[in-house]
Amino acid sequence: MTGRSTVVRRVMVRPEAGAILGALLLWTIFAYLGGGNGFLTVAGTAGILEVAAQIGIVGTTVALLMIAGQYDLSVGSTVGATGMVLALGLSEFHLQVWAAVMLALTLGLGVGLVNGLLVIKTGLPSFIVTLASFYVLRGGTIAVTRAMTGLTVVGGLDEYTKNDPFAMLFMARFGDFRVAIVWWLLLAAASAYVLHRTRMGNWIFATGGNASAARMVGVPTNRVLVVLFMLTAFSAALLAVLQVLAFNGADALRGQQKEFEAITAAVIGGTLLTGGYGTAIGPIFGALTLAIVQLGIFFAGIDTDWYKVMVGSLLLLAVGFNESIRRLAMRVRR
């Protein structure tokens, strides 16, 4: 093998290689198709990053959990539930903004704790456990909100959040760019650090790669999983806080399909569905890919009904591509 092809191979077998290439390629295509309509403007770029942040905040942590071999289908419902707790805390209980935000984030951690404990105590697949919480949280949020307010939507929160310095942490804008983008990149950077630099990261890979072997060599796999479930739910709560404060209201139905978008971003980003393989950088580009397609279609003048068709096709392509890359990485070298 020549030096050059080794370098190329080394880059190509990175799990996130496909997502980076894909995002670049799609961006180029839509820049060509929709460049004249504003895709390339600052506002267009801010829009892409905003959508990517909405997907990526949850996608980043869901990817970590998937690398550890588990799923969280309840993140979308958690967005709805924690957002509503924040909104009701402000409008019904007149809490301080910081107190209401802390309440929402704590509830998020609690949801994750329950999910995690249920998974490790019952030994049931997390797919089923979190599917159950997906229903329970969504139904509960709608029922409680309607019982308290008669509606499933709470609005007009700006009277509580206006000029609140704590609220600005989640509401600030820099020109066209919302602060959610910063939160996303911070969370992704923290995830990357944890996954690739720390002991916890090694344990995440080991837990997803071979849980029984990991236990045998002393990895506290249960603790790893509970922490990760708390992290996914916490990121959902963070997204909810950002949405509620930015849009001045909460909707009990908020966050629907977030669970699938997060998994899609993770998979396009090179996360292996069966665990044990992936990166924290990949899901950033997975989220960007979805955002580029979503806004690209709009700017290119294509009927946005086709968005999901494209996402589905992309997902299939990405899985196929990542699988072949993984096989290349696994090939015995002599």
Partner 1 sequence: MTAGTPVIELREASKFFGHVVALERVSMSVRPGEVVCLLGDNGAGKSTLIKLLSGVFHPDEGSLWVDGSLARFGSPRDAVAAGIATVYQDLALFPLMTISRNFIVGTEPARGRGMLAAIRFREADTLVRQNLLEIGIEVRDTSDLVGTLSGGERQTLAIARAEHIGARLLILDEPTSALGVKEAAIVLRNVLRARAKGLAIVFITHNVHHAYAVGDRFLFLSRGRVLGVYDRDALTVDEMTRLMGGGAELEDLTNELEQLRRQGESDGRGAAGNGGGGTDVAGGGGAVRGAMGTDAGGSAARAQE
Using DSSP, state whether 127 is helix, strand or coil. helix
Residue from 90, 114, 206, 246 that binds partner 1 (CB under 8 A)? 206
Does residue 151 come out as left (phi exceeding 0), alpha (psi in the -120 to 50 range) or beta? beta
Number of residues that bind partner 1 (CB under 8 A): 33
The closest alpha carbon to 271, from 107, 65, 90, 108, belongs to 65
- Nearest to partner 1 of 5, 28 (CB atom): 5
Q: Which of 42, 309, 316, 330 binds partner 1 (CB under 8 A)?
A: 330
C-beta of 40 vs 223, nearer to partner 1: 223
CB of 201 to partner 1, least distance (A): 8
Q: Residue 19 interacts with partner 1 (CB under 8 A)?
A: no
Residue 266 found at the interface with partner 1 (CB under 8 A): no
Shortest distance, CB of residue 210 to partner 1, whole angstroms?
Answer: 5
**Which residue, 182 or 194, is less far from partner 1 as judged by CB?**
194
| Distance in Å, CB of 112 to partner 1, minimum | 16
Instruction: State in angstroms the smallest separation of the CB of 33 from partner 1.
Output: 38
DSSP 35: G
For helices 258-268 and 307-330, what crossing angle results, to 10°?
40
- Could you give the CA distance from residue 269 to residue 18 in angstroms, rounded to a whole number? 7
Q: Is 113 in the site for partner 1 (CB under 8 A)?
A: no
Contact, 183 vs 238, CB < 8 A? yes
Rounded Cα gap, residues 238 and 301, in angstroms: 33
Of the listed pieces 79-87, 141-149, 195-203, 252-260, which binds partner 1 according to CB under 8 A?
195-203
Interface residue with partner 1, options 97, 167, 272, 314 (CB under 8 A) = 272
Q: Which is nearer to partner 1, 10 or 94 (CB)?
A: 10
333 binds partner 1, rule: CB under 8 A? yes
Measure the CA–CA gap between 64 and 265, rounded to whole angstroms: 12
189 binds partner 1 (CB under 8 A): no
For the beta carbon of residue 326, count every other beta carbon within 10 angstroms.
Answer: 15
Quick check: 210 binds partner 1 (CB under 8 A)? Answer: yes
- Nearest-angstrom CA–CA distance, 271 and 226: 20
Nearer to partner 1, 87 or 187 (CB): 187
Q: Under the criterion CB under 8 A, does residue 214 sit at the interface with partner 1?
A: yes
> Which are the contacts of 279, defined by CB distance < 8 A and separation ≥ 6?
14, 15, 16, 192, 195, 196, 269, 270, 271
In DSSP terms, 173 is beta-bridged to: 178
Q: Enumerate binding residues for partner 1 (CB under 8 A).
A: 194, 197-203, 205-206, 209-210, 212-220, 223, 227, 272, 276-277, 326, 329-334
